[in-house]
Amino acid sequence: MIAFVRHGQTAVNRDGRLQGRVDAPLTDLGREQAASIARCFAPGSVTLVLSSPLLRARDTAVAIAAAHGVGVEVDDRLVELDYGEWDRRSLADVSPEEWKRWRADPSFSPPGGESLVDVGERVASFCEERLGDGLVVAVSHVSPIKAAVCWALGIDQRATWRMHLDLASVTRIVRRGDAGVLTSYNETAHLTAAH
């Protein structure tokens, strides 16, 4: 099983701006969220923790790994979609025409950025390689996690626009035969249980 974890809160996403490859640290709330995620996995169940290279994901991964006595391995395929020139922009600052085109065409890339098709290809490679026995925790970002769901369900990347994924959530995928199977999406009970 791969348990995909979306990292905790940063000031950039708290303020409603596109974060992409911006390497922002976790806020105090983000660190609390990471600790809550660490407690949601049964003791001794985590065999490996993988992380995007970005700081917000690595810090979330370190909290999980420390609680389970394992190390963290960085995998570049888990990095967030590259928003290019749109990084740090609020959604209101992206032209409605460009936003509409992006939502309609998964091969569209923001200026200087990356398409949903590109993200889907690298995440599919990750899933095919890493999905196996044991519980692998993969700390990543909204676009790669949604891409993993599309891979497991065998659906087009445009479906990502119909999915909401909370910060510090858990999404689980297993392998059955030759296919990935989505077993849970956007788990957040661990966040309310901690308060």
Catalytic residue set? 7, 80
Q: What is the DSSP letter of 15?
A: T
User: What is the greatest pairwise CA distance in the chain?
Assistant: 49
The CA-atom distances, in angstroms, between 10 and each of 60, 97, 155, 179 are 11, 28, 30, 34
Report the side by side order of strands in the sheet with 179-187: 72-74, 46-51, 135-140, 2-6, 170-176, 179-187
Whether 41 and 135 have beta carbons less than 8 Å apart is answered as: yes
